[in-house]
Amino acid sequence: MDNLGKVLRVNLTEGTVRSESLCEKTVRNFIGGRGYATKVLYDEVPKGTDPLSPANKLIFANGPLTGKGAPSAGRYMVITKSPLTGYIASSNSGGFWGAELARAGWFMIILEGKSPKPVYLWVRDDKVEIRDAGAIWGKDGHEATDDLLAAVGDGQAKVACIGTAGEQLSVIAAIMNDKTRAAGRSGVGAVMGSKNLKGIVVRGSARPPVQDAEGMKAALASSMEKLKTNPVTSQGLPTYGTAVLVNVINQTGGYPMNNWQGAYFPEADEQSGETLARDFLVKRYSCFGCPIGCGRVTKLGEKIGEGPEYETIFAFGVCCGVARLEPIIEANNICNELGLDTISAGVTIAAAMELYEKGYIRKEELEGGPELRFGNGDAVTYWTRKMGLGEGFGKKLAEGSYRLCEMYGHPEFSMTVKKQEMPAYDGRAIQGIGLNYATSNRGGCHVRGYTISPEILGLPEKLDPTDIESKPAWVSIFQNLTAAIDASGMCLFTSFALGADDYGAFLKAATGFDYDGAETLKAGERIWNIERLFNLREGLDPLKEDTLPERLLKEPIPGGPSKGMVSRLSEMLPNYYKYRGWDEKGIPTAGKLAELGLN
């Protein structure tokens, strides 16, 4: 298995580094990335471990395809126990860092313990050093990246680091790589900060080997044809980026407004991908080896930045009642610099706005800062910065909306699942995505099972968003396939054009194992179940926690095309459990675990 790279195990308490081999059986069963690292976490981090304690482990994991000839294969995962949810944190990022790690000959980095002082890791091929980071602790991610590259004397190296938010242990802190790409969700940045680890700098000099070069070439030719002819990957995403979703989700009546108090925003076009392209776009950004190029390089005044993505536009825009792109772009740039998850940050500010407008947060608490009122763009940018720096009232906001709303005695205003903020689709208008939010192993998340693709975009088939019969199966299959794609190192967006058979062909070429479409889906299902087992061991109560906020279950959408709708989760959940081979309490049965080899 050494042609896939080795495992770097770093003990930050003792200041030691060790190289290990990958376990062939684990690659065969869990692929890599999200799968392999979750298995490691499951085996090595005991039940009840405090996520911000030295006993938690932080794993950076590539897939077998990261850095190799497959399209859009620059992805890596950050896996740990989440300080936000208390369950599995499984954060995905693109850019160029993962590919560089592969070139350096490493598949995975496991970080253990806690350094007595701030440090960074310098990985140059097989030479690994733990170095003092005292001079850059306290700096934002952009400055830190520049300083780290200067310190190692190599401008071609790639950096993954935390900003001030991770140092402050904000449970919604991100890990940023290549300055503007984020392993955003579930507070992985806080875990890195808790270990006194500022960054990991990587430089590799080898071309990562492939088991079957001919097989890889054939798979590449076939998939490039599909990517180049599919309208999403060849036109929609490259032209407008993910922001193109603003108008279509709004026209469906599922664009969550004012902390989910509405779902249709008359001013949505002001923050759309069309407006972004016309007024702020400089050029496209493509991650490593990606023919799609959905990234946006944008200019606000004199400042050049990357983004915002659709989720960020929702979080700082419609969710906070803000229409214009200017404050949204500024808040996005702040999050990139300070290392914050844009979804959780924006939805937390929205929760704070509802608390403030209803009189639970008092004006004096804002210390003269802009009032937390829906529609106030200045409040969005000001409080995002305060959150990222952990200053004043911002420190409370940096706790995320669940803890914030609990503090004020009104948990019902926290639009979260398992304490993680929900993304940009209203589960009352779109039933499948609601089911996916409720059952996602990492809390409120859309990418775990992106059923928006069939429910709104009509790919691979046109599903009615209001239908409930079809959703348990579709959500399960999407969740399984996504887990496998995440584990492989390829980008989820290739799945608009590619199917399980395509991923199987790539995995077979990269690993030599006999993957096909069915085996790929099975591995994905296995990954989903081991994540579930991890969460259950940590105390997950499915009947209480596989749910949505009361607002989505009980308050009908007040206006717009989806007026009157609520989530019909209770009608879908039993069938979802059944489809997955779990019992009526949401626990994987002995039979299912035996089938997956997880018993």
Q: Which of 35, 189, 241, 472 binds other proteins (CB under 8 A)?
A: 241
Query: Residue from 62, 168, 186, 247 that binds other proteins (CB under 8 A)?
Result: 247
Residue from 72, 259, 344, 562 in contact with other proteins (CB under 8 A): 562
Q: Indicate the residue among 202 and 552 with the shorter CB distance to other proteins.
A: 552
The residue within the footprint of other proteins, chosen from 41, 123, 232, 318 (CB under 8 A), is 232
Query: Which range, of 31-39, 172-180, 303-311, 519-527, touches other proteins by CB under 8 A?
Result: 303-311
Using the minimum distance from each CB to other proteins, give the nearer residue, 250 or 441. 250
Q: Which is nearer to other proteins, 71 or 369 (CB)?
A: 71
Q: How far is the CB of 182 from other proteins (least distance, A)?
A: 12
Our finding on whether 74 is near other proteins (CB under 8 A) is: no
Phi, psi of 529 (to 5 degrees): -70, -35
291 lies in the site for other proteins, by CB under 8 A: no
SS3 for 54? coil
Interaction of residue 415 with other proteins, rule CB under 8 A = no
Closest approach of Cβ 243 to other proteins, in Å? Answer: 7
The nearer residue to other proteins, 58 or 318, going by C-beta atoms, is 318
Asked if 380 contacts 316 with a C-beta cutoff of 8 angstroms, the reply is yes
Among 168, 171, 218, CA closest to 196: 168
183 vs 398 by CB, closer to other proteins: 183
Helices (H), 363-466: 377-389, 393-397, 400-407, 431-439, 452
Assess contact for 582 and 588: CB atoms under 8 A.
Answer: yes
List, in sequence order, every residue forming a beta bridge with 200; answer none if it has no partner: 121, 160
Q: For the chain, how big is the Rg over CA atoms in Å?
A: 22
- For residues 61 and 483, the answer to whether their CB atoms sit within 8 Å is no
Kindly state the smallest distance separating residue 66's Cβ from other proteins, in Å.
19
Contact between 204 and other proteins (CB under 8 A)? no
Cβ-count burial of 224 within 10 angstroms (0-12 exposed, 13-18 middle, 19+ buried)?
middle
253 binds other proteins (CB under 8 A): yes
Q: How far is the CB of 406 from other proteins (least distance, A)?
A: 29
> How many whole angstroms separate alpha carbon 102 and alpha carbon 204?
7
State which H helix or E strand residue 130 sits in: strand 127-132
> What CA dihedral angle connects 245, 249, 254 and 257, to 10 degrees?
60
Can you tell me whether residue 305 is helix, strand or coil?
Answer: strand
Instruction: Name residue, tokens 């050494």.
Output: 2
x-or-dash string of contact with other proteins, 475-514, rule CB under 8 A: -----------------xx--x------------------
Rounded distance, CA 413 to CA 417, Å? 12
Q: Is 267 in the site for other proteins (CB under 8 A)?
A: no
Token readout for 222 is 């076939």
Please give the DSSP secondary-structure letter assigned to residue 119. E
Q: If residue 201 lies in a helix (H) or strand (E), which one and from where to where?
A: strand 197-203
Name residue 98's amino acid.
G
For other proteins, which residue of 112, 147, 167, 311 counts as binding (CB under 8 A)?
311
| Complex with other proteins: residue 232 or 319, whichever CB lies closer | 232
Task: Report in angstroms how near the CB of residue 548 gets to other proteins at its nearest.
Answer: 20
Q: Which residue, among 63, 20, 68, 75, has the nearest Cα to 44 in the 3D structure?
A: 20
- 273 interacts with other proteins by CB under 8 A: yes
d(CA 114, CA 486): 28
* Stretch binding other proteins (CB under 8 A), from 205-213, 445-453, 501-509, 524-532: 445-453
Q: Which residue, 27 or 429, is less far from other proteins as judged by CB? A: 429
Q: Does 459 bind other proteins (CB under 8 A)?
A: yes
Give the interface size with other proteins as a residue count (CB under 8 A): 45
Interface region with other proteins, contact rule CB under 8 A, candidates 8-16, 76-84, 236-244, 386-394: 236-244
| Closest CB to other proteins among residues 252, 332 | 252
Q: Give the Cα separation of 471 and 444 in Å (integer).
A: 17
- From 209-217, 248-256, 509-517, 570-578, give the range in contact with other proteins by CB under 8 A: 248-256
Instruction: Check binding of 306 to other proteins (CB under 8 A).
Output: no
Judged by CB under 8 A, the residue of 26, 49, 211, 239 near other proteins is: 239
Which C-beta is closer to other proteins: that of 274 or that of 571? Answer: 274
Q: According to the binding rule CB under 8 A, does residue 68 interact with other proteins?
A: no
Under 8 Å between Cβ of 130 and 121:
yes
Q: How far apart are CA 187 and CA 52, in angstroms?
A: 10
Using CB under 8 A as the binding rule, whether residue 449 contacts other proteins is answered as no
- Facing residues of 164 across strands? none
Single residue of 53, 222, 251, 286 touching other proteins by CB under 8 A = 251
Separation in Å, CA 1 to CA 22, 205, 209, 425: 6, 20, 11, 41
Q: Quote the CA–CA distance of 317 and 313 in Å, as a whole number.
A: 5
Give the residue carrying structure tokens 């999403």: 232
Interface residue list for other proteins (CB under 8 A): 231-233, 235-237, 239-245, 247-248, 251-253, 269, 272-274, 294, 309-311, 429, 446-447, 450, 453, 456-459, 462, 464-466, 492-493, 496, 560-562
